[in-house]
Amino acid sequence: MNDNIVKKKLGIFGKIMNVIQECMGPVIPMIMAGGLIKVLVIILVAFNIISDNSDTCVILSAIGDAPYYFLPFEVAVTAAIYFKIPILLSIATVGIMFSPKFLELFASEVFFVGIPVINVTYSYSVLPVILLVWIMNLLYNWIKKIMQDSLFNFLGNTVVLLISSLLAILVIGPIGNLIAQAIRIFILQIQSMSQVSAEVFFAIIFPFLNMLGMQWPFILDAITHVGENGYESLIIISLLCVNISQGGACLASSFRIKDNKKKSECLGMGLTAIISGASEPATYSNFGYKRPMIAALIGSGVAGLYAGIIGIKAFSFVPPAFATVLIFMNSKYSINIIHAIITGFIALVVSFFVSYILGIEAQKKSN
């Protein structure tokens, strides 16, 4: 089994998830880079190397925040590449939403030829940009088809820029923002019932979201939440539980499997998930062997229970694991990183021992 096959079975929804994945994939390393720089700032402040009020701290923080704040421009580039339209055209269209003069208008109600313009925050946004570039792709190809080449070379980009910018401001931006808000409301609704239940729920359900390709809306919400509020207290912590528990269960399988090749594969996949947070190979391996997946879900659920009771916060977005645990470090919440490490060890120990006790199926049926 692999995620591409699953997405094809999901039809149009799978295609949408695939588009988001293709557009966000190249951007994630930049988000991780910004997150690690923010972790560096936290360390420097914690050890009194720099003051949190110093110009040096402000400059370094700005460098770390830049990949988050300008996320729409980064996605505009990757989406333009995916949809095969001029990159600079997509950047220019997104740029109108960051124009200082445009933003100043929202000190009061704004109308365009009598049509109300909704005030939408576009910084840290992803879904509105992907939706916009998709519409631009349709518009660009349609105008190119109906215009003569000589006329298109002269006026094509002008027409696309004008129409796309107006659509972005009046229609696409508000719609994309509503979708993002709906996801945020869903998460807040679960959290409002019980933070503990929410943490356990996502810690258990996230491996299946990953396999179905449905994890991106929640990851995008977490990235946006970090950018806007400086921290996130649910999804990233759930991912910590999931990554380490999947790795722990896969690692235990390597001690039960007799085939040397499969033994070494499980060992490598397990250690990769535990150390770096790249848990997808371990997840598919556990799912194939069945019982290790049950063990991983038990481990992530127990770890999520502890994290939910304590209330852990993540201050940057990097795939959470032991190598990146410093994303849970913050001078104002000094004990937070200790609880994150304890959460990771709970996920590892419980998933490993439950997986070792349960064992594996006699024969793995598929990869």
Angle between helices 12-24 and 71-83 (to 10 degrees): 120
CB distance 338 to 353 below 8 Å: no
Residues 6+ apart with CB under 8 A from 285: 250, 253, 265, 266, 269, 292, 367
- Per-residue pLDDT at 364: 45
Task: Give φ, ψ of 319 to 5 degrees.
Answer: -50, 115
Triad 160, 18, 213: Cα angle to 5°: 145
3-state secondary structure 80-125: HHHHCCCHHHHHHHHHHHHCHHHHHHHHCCEEECCEEECCCCCCCC
Q: What is the largest CA-CA distance in the chain?
A: 73
- Per-residue pLDDT at 119: 81
Amino acid, res. 149: D
- Which residue has tokens 């997405």? 7
C-alpha to C-alpha distance for 232 and 346, rounded to whole angstroms = 21
Task: Give φ, ψ of 18 to 5 degrees.
Answer: -65, -40
C-alpha to C-alpha distance for 142 and 208, rounded to whole angstroms = 39
- Per-residue pLDDT at 213: 64
Low-confidence ranges of the chain (pLDDT < 50): 1, 363-367
- Per-residue pLDDT at 25: 81
CB distance 24 to 231 below 8 Å: no
- Per-residue pLDDT at 3: 53
Give tens-digit pLDDT for 322-357: 988 988 988 788 899 999 999 999 999 999 999 999
Give tens-digit pLDDT for 258-292: 888 888 888 998 998 999 888 888 888 888 888 99
3-state secondary structure 203-239: HHHHHHHHHHCCCHHHHHHHHHHHHHHCCECCHHHHH
Angle between helices 216-229 and 173-193 (to 10 degrees): 90
Structure tokens given for 335 = 């004990």
Structure tokens given for 281 = 């190979």
